[in-house]
Amino acid sequence: MAKVFRCYGLHLSANRMIPELVPAHADTQAEVHLHFGGLPHGLIRAGAGWSPEGTGSKAGRFGRPEAIAWPRGNQSAFRLRYEDSTTFVIDPSASRIWAVWPPALSFEDTVVYLLGPVLAFVLRLRGIICLHASAVAMNGQAVAFIGPSGAGKSTAAAAFARRGVAVLTDDLLALGEQGGGVVVHPGYARLRLWPESVDMLYDRPATLPALTPNWDKRYLDLQRDRDAFERHSLPLGAIYLLDLRCEHPAAPFVQSLGASESFLNLLANVRGEVHLNKQAHRRAFGVLGRLARRLPIRRVIGRTGRNALPSLCEAIAEDLQSPSGAFHARAGAYV
């Protein structure tokens, strides 16, 4: 019997249990159906008939796909193939996903792909804008962290979680338009952390379990404590760009960004390798432009060293409470 989960504002049904996803009511109608362990009928043989639209630049494991094949002729499906031969097939309506993986890898490895770049692709096909970001829930609003890979987005969310703040999403932030504003949908109930981040957060490096049998990244299970994971969509209140670190004793520094710089940073952190049509491009640019003009977006220059995380959390919390911060502005007021 298929299991139904909630993630990124969608209801997903799957033929296997996905531990990091929050279950939905059994009678919930799913918008996306997942099938692990096989490809749809007629697409078993090497994907004959697909034509590659382009090849994504290699961004490390579990990043962008090595190649994306787009529907051509009678082949009515997308195919995302990764360097390790893990393959996903997605129907044109973005309502069905099939996944297969090589014997050397595991189901857990495949789920890492699914909950990151694959669902980012699916969400973009469904018209949902996604950012490469993590977010926590504070004062009834979503506070997001963006930045390049390795900037510490997940680590910042974990540091706030240690202070009793609920996590809303990790790595992928799905934006929804609601009531004249923008909301952030909950993701999956785990935080993925590199071993060095675990060292900074906990006394022992092996405190957290391994994410997959084939990778050294760890995870924090947010479902063990019901208050650790925010299960409801929240208005987006503020965005913090985690970019640079310095050794200055007065760090961290929080700097306001102008609308143009904010827009460029939002654009640089959009997820989902999809070549959108002109209408979809205009809509995405419009949403990001309104966010850049109306939402508090700050750059945080953090401190180096083991005491960096407490000071980072304190600086962000203080900024949120400032007269120009998110807690003194109408959340999601971007129209």
Is 335 a member of any domain? no
* Angular region, 129: left φ>0, alpha ψ -120 to 50, beta rest: beta
- Tell which wins on pLDDT, 319 or 276: 319
The domain tally of the chain equals 2
pTM of the complete model: 0.88
> If you write DSSP's letter for every residue of 219-262 in order, what string do you get?
EEETTSSGGGB--S-EEEEEEEEEEEEE--TT--EEEE--HHHH
Looking at the fold, whether 111 and 191 belong to one and the same domain comes out as no
* Angular region, 174: left φ>0, alpha ψ -120 to 50, beta rest: beta
Looking at the fold, whether 137 and 109 belong to one and the same domain comes out as no
State the residue range of the domain holding 223: 129-328
CATH for 147: 3.40.50.300
pLDDT digits (tens, 9 = 90+) for 178-195: 877 899 999 999 999 999
Q: What is the mean pLDDT of the chain?
A: 85
Judged against a pLDDT cut of 60, whether residue 172 lies above it is answered with yes
Helix (H, G, I), strand (E, B) or coil at 325: coil
Is 14 a member of any domain? yes
Name the pairing type of β-strands 172-178 and 96-100. unpaired
